Chain A
């Protein structure tokens, strides 16, 4: 599904990623943890194609195609989805219009007919209920005036509607209380199957109590320095990042 090979990238003049290697197979859930500034969010942005994030070395294939040859919107319509850590507010564009355009853009790529307004409304209402947002959120401007938790749930709603094959969740748990965390986790779990894969970027192990990862990777200084199974996350939770070496002593998870 996704193969990252020796990826180096920088933002402005600062090199953030220093040779990331990672392979994700269909149906797998990979958690990426690491201290602040390790490059976790950068990895998400580079994969989704955000401007200003420059690839210096290495390559990435997504479903055996060169990811960096694709425009941002092509990556998305081919099934890559990034749930933003800080979703953008767009007053003047309704959530409904935004999601309908997205869904139909992805359907067009898949050779499917666009959904009619009525068909879309039906599935949007279902998704809205699933993430426990009031239905009037569909009519409001995209993320306009939403609380932090509402924005995160809106991201999950989009994921449910777009049905991407690879989801990157960038700290979808940050700033959530336990109830909201469960809503987000249930949303993700409802989408898991043997074809769809997830990268869960998080600071805290607590999300991983709800979304069980197949693999856990520790990203530090722009590299994956350790990989393991779910028990690695528990170890980080308990011991912090001291095991990475002297410079990480005292850095809490």
Chain B
């Protein structure tokens, strides 16, 4: 057992609110599972030692300040900000378009509590260790409802900042009624010693369409473990883009569950890891129903002594005939001391399906680099030209042009600062 997990369980038993029954279940799982050992496949390549003996978080926090969060140029988003796990935005002051409702988990009315309880833990599978921690301990969070046939053009951005040494657990629940549309951006960042869990569950109703982003920009000492979990009903559409940097411990789990027929999911993931960073992406696509389509592309560049872990599982259930599923993971190593553990997994129980998967790891091509240098092109620029292209392709596929224009220079700047060794 770990000192940190013992404290979590201890703290969680004291939490008393309307979510108690779900929290109780999570605690039982946690007690039964215990701290993951090296044999636990979900954590085989991602060391948790920095967390295992972590001292209890500081009890007295500096009061969180709703400092101005930088906006994404050209994206006039509805911003909801958590700082060190505290919701600092005044939800009552938000002007929301018709058909969109946002409530805090803590100040929910009786009716809202019923809706929240119905979605809380309904999409996210119980196998995620830190998802259980979040179930048991999250105090703050929001519930977003998009009403039937509502088309919300303004993106909702949920910002999670880690600024001081504390454990912070936040939760986002999104309930999209049939035929609705919206765009949600989960943005997290921090550099200071801290531990954050941020889990989001999305119920995408029949013929509803979600444009989703998750930016896991935690670096240095900011540890974060989180997940985005989606359940797609008949004819639902999901377009998701995930971008990850690495820190002492940074891990994102994604589950895409085809709970209805004819749903379409597209997910692109990009990770860019600087010196010594760690990023771990586990994705699971569950095709439980027939006629679903999934396309997943994960591409990453891994710097000196950095480690990327990718596990992509596609599970096609016996009844999920006519499924089309593709999963691809491409990696570029900038140094012999970088590590990539990639594992695509296909598990197919239906016979009439089309499935493809693949994973590659490449190194810098010396000859091509020499050729560009010999024409006067600076080394950093040459590396961008040679290697950034396959990442840029995924950035170009982002449906919102303003987000694309904001992200591209951010990533190319980060890439240019990464050294080839």
* A residues at B contact (CB < 8 Å): 48-51, 71-73, 75-77, 81-82, 84, 87-88, 90, 92-93, 97-99, 101-102, 105-106, 109, 142, 158, 162
Q: Per a CB cutoff under 8 Å, which of B375, B379, B385 touches A162?
A: B375
User: What are 24 A-B contacts with C-beta separation under 8 Å?
Assistant: A51-B366, A71-B373, A71-B379, A72-B370, A72-B374, A73-B377, A76-B376, A82-B374, A84-B371, A84-B374, A87-B371, A88-B368, A88-B370, A88-B371, A90-B368, A90-B372, A92-B389, A92-B390, A93-B372, A93-B386, A98-B375, A101-B385, A105-B378, A106-B376
* Least Cβ–Cβ distance between A212 and chain B, in angstroms: 27
CA–CA, A75 to B367, complex, Å? 17
Min distance, Cβ B375 to any Cβ of chain A, angstroms? 4
Closest to A90 in B: B368
* Alpha-carbon gap, A47 to B334, bound state (A): 27
Q: How large is the interface on B (under 10, 10 to 19, 20 to 34, 35 or more residues)?
A: 10 to 19
Nearest-neighbour CB distance to chain B for A38, whole angstroms, equals: 22
Q: Do B371 and A90 have beta carbons less than 8 Å apart?
A: yes
* B372 / chain A contacts, CB cutoff of 8 Å: 90, 93, 98, 101-102
B381 close to chain A: CB less than 8 A:
yes
Please report which residues of chain B, range 357-400, place their CB below 8 angstroms from some CB of chain A when the two chains form the complex.
366-368, 370-379, 381-382, 385-386, 389-390
Q: Is the CB of B385 within 8 A of A97?
A: yes
B389 near A51: Cβ-Cβ < 8 Å: no
Shortest B49–chain A CB gap in Å is: 38
Total inter-chain residue pairs, C-beta < 8 Å = 72
What DSSP secondary structure best describes chain B's contact surface?
helix
Contacting residues, chain A, for B382 (C-beta < 8 A)? 73
Q: Is the pair A50, B370 in contact by a Cβ cutoff of 8 Å?
A: yes
Residue contact B379 to A73, C-beta cutoff 8 Å: yes
A48, B386: Cβ atoms under 8 Å?
no
Q: Bound state CA distance, A71 and B374, in angstroms?
A: 9
Q: Closest CB of chain A to B17's CB: distance in Å?
A: 54
Chain A residue with Cβ nearest B370: A50
Chain A contacts of B379 at CB under 8 A?
71, 73
With a cutoff of 8 Å between Cβ atoms, the chain A residues found around residue B376 in the complex are 73, 76-77, 102, 105-106, 109, 162
Contacts of B366 in A (CB 8 A): 51
Q: Among A48, A88, A92, A102, point to the contact of B377 (Cβ < 8 A).
A: A102
Q: Which residue of A lies closest to B375 (CB)?
A: A102
Question: Contact between A101 and B377 (Cβ–Cβ < 8 Å)?
Answer: yes
The CA-CA distance from A158 to B372 in the complex, in Å, is 12
8 extra interface residue pairs, beta carbon distance < 8 Å, beyond A50-B370, A73-B376, A75-B374: A50-B374, A51-B366, A73-B378, A81-B375, A90-B371, A92-B389, A97-B385, A102-B375
Instruction: Given A101-B381, A105-B377, A162-B375, verify A51-B370 contact (CB < 8 Å).
Output: yes
Cα A109 to Cα B375 in complex, Å, equals 12
Closest 4 CB pairs of A and B: A76-B376, A102-B375, A77-B376, A72-B373
Kindly identify, within residues 177 to 201 of chain B, every residue whose CB is under 8 Å from any CB belonging to chain A.
none
The reply to whether B373 and A76 contact each other, CB–CB distance below 8 Å, is yes
A136 smallest CB distance to B (angstroms): 20
On chain A, the residues within 8 Å of B371 by CB distance are 84, 87-88, 90, 142
* CB-defined contacts of A90 to chain B, threshold 8 Å: 368, 371-372, 386
Q: How far, in angstroms, from A162 to B377 measured CA to CA in the complex?
A: 12
Closest residue of chain B to A107, judged by CB?
B376
Q: Chain B residues near A51 (CB, 8 Å)? A: 366, 370
Cβ of A81: which chain B residues have Cβ within 8 Å of it?
Answer: 374-375
Residue of A nearest to B372 (CB): A98
Cα distance A88–B370 when bound, in Å? Answer: 9
Which of B368, B370, B376, B385 is the most central at the interface, judged by chain A CB atoms within 10 Å of its CB?
B376
**Whole-angstrom distance between the Cβ of B383 and the nearest chain A Cβ:** 12
Q: Are A76 and B385 in contact (CB under 8 A)?
A: no
Closest to A161 in B: B375
Chain B proximity of A60: nearest CB distance (Å): 16
Bound CA–CA A77/B374 (angstroms): 9
Distance of A77 Cα from B381 Cα, bound (Å): 14
CB contacts (< 8 Å) of B368 on chain A: these are 88, 90
The docked-state distance in angstroms from the alpha carbon of A92 to that of B377 is: 16
Whether the Cβ atoms of A76 and B375 lie closer than 8 Å is yes
**CA distance in complex: A113, B389 (Å):** 26
Q: Chain A residues with Cβ under 8 A from B367's Cβ?
A: 88
A88 and B367 CA atoms in complex are apart in Å by: 7
* Chain A residues within an 8 Å CB radius of B385: 93, 97-98, 101
Residues of B near A77 (CB, < 8 A) are 376
Q: Which residue of A lies closest to B378 (CB)?
A: A73
Distance in Å: Cβ of A95 to nearest Cβ of chain B: 12
Q: Which A residues are in CB contact (< 8 Å) with B377?
A: 73, 98, 101-102, 105
Q: Is the CB of A48 within 8 A of B374?
A: yes
A76 and B374: CB pair below 8 A?
A: yes
Q: Which residues of B contact A102 (CB under 8 A)?
A: 372, 375-377
Of A49, A51, A90, most buried by chain B (CB within 10 Å of CB) is: A90
Complex CA gap A51/B385 in Å reads: 20
Q: Tell me which of A49, A73, A75, A162 has the highest count of chain B C-beta atoms within 10 A of its own C-beta.
A: A73
A105→B380 CA distance, assembly (Å): 12
Contacts of A92 in B (CB 8 A): 386, 389-390
Residues of B with C-beta under 8 A to A98:
372, 375, 377, 385
Give the residue name and chain of the B residue nearest to A92 (CB): B389
Instruction: Report how far A81 CA is from B377 CA in the complex, Å.
Output: 12
